[in-house]
Structure 1
Amino acid sequence: MENKMTIEELIAKGESFKIETSKPRIEYGDDMNIIYQPCSYLKNGDEFTEWVETSKRFIFINFPEDISYNIFEKVSDNVRRQADILKLVGILKSLKNNPDICKPLKANTVSTNITVNQSQMVNLMFVIETIKSEIGEANFNKIKEIYNSQDSTEEKNSKVLDKLKSLGVNVLSSIIANILTNPSIWG
């Protein structure tokens, strides 16, 4: 039989947990005295552990991509003070009051992508300008016409290659030399 708790029930249960601290004391004996240091403890630690696991499961099922799961898990692994319990309850309250998913941030993937694309575009424009300056405007426009034609990709490649070959080995060598000797191509 399943006992599914609502977020309100999880919050209420979490608020019921209290970390208590024992007072220091000394027990006097005939031959020996025992000194007890103050310590913090949860009276119902087994219920607390069950509540933590139920809460993690609830967050994982209902908010699978939300950053709160990782935060809840991290805090729940090291509960030592009442403030830690309040933080766990606070996470549940924030999910109740603001149920929109807060996905973890992915650092700088967009700016890196933009930089790479810009760099590639600059290099491509340099290659195009080099070809245009070596073969002349008229020949460059003829190659553009071939590219814009309705032919298949293989036919276009063949026609462009034939056009470049017709310009001569010296022109092709010059194009390649200009491209390869430009420092911006090599990054």
Structure 2
Amino acid sequence: MKGKVRTALEALIEEQSKRTTRLRNSHSMFPFYNTLDEEKYVKWVARTTRFLRTHFPNDKDIEEFKSTSKRTTTLQQQQELLAILEAFLEYPEAIEKVKTSKVTKSINISNNISNTNTQSQQQSQQQSIEILIKALEDQLSVSQLKEIKQVVEEAKGDLEKAKPKLIDKIKSFGENVASNILANIIANPAIWSMLS
């Protein structure tokens, strides 16, 4: 690999390394990571994709980089992007894609990505819901839970309408209830591990 190409690749890797250390969970209930500056991240992905296509044409890992960059931003996803770039730096010889029929290839890729993403998202959402329900059950009585459920049902799917009523309802249960619910959510091992 020529010195200029190596230097450019090292700069892209360094930028991504700094980004992964700045990722923070931006919501305590649903795991969502934020890069602090989305515009710079989008530009970095575009520059990096173009760099890889220019200097490693037809390498099979370019598609892996592209598909990984389109997934939901998580710490693991960002680390995978970094690992792909580091592999290009360490093993610069291009690994050409295996030629397969277009029909077979697109069916397999679509099914695998779709199934994996759907399963991961469903599991993550289910876990988040279970954490929330457990926190509510630990802090609220059965009658208080019924009152919250009634507010939700009355809103008929209108979240903006329901939110102020939910806040008022939770406040009516006592000043410590909301903070205790939030503390239970944060103290859940699944959430706690993401914060540490």
Query: TM-score normalised by the shorter chain: which range applies?
Result: 0.3 to 0.5
TM-score by length of structure 1 reads 0.45
**Which structure's relative contact order is higher, taking Cα pairs within 8 Å and 6+ residues apart?**
2
Bigger share in strand: 1
Bigger share in helix: 2
The structure with more radius of gyration = 1
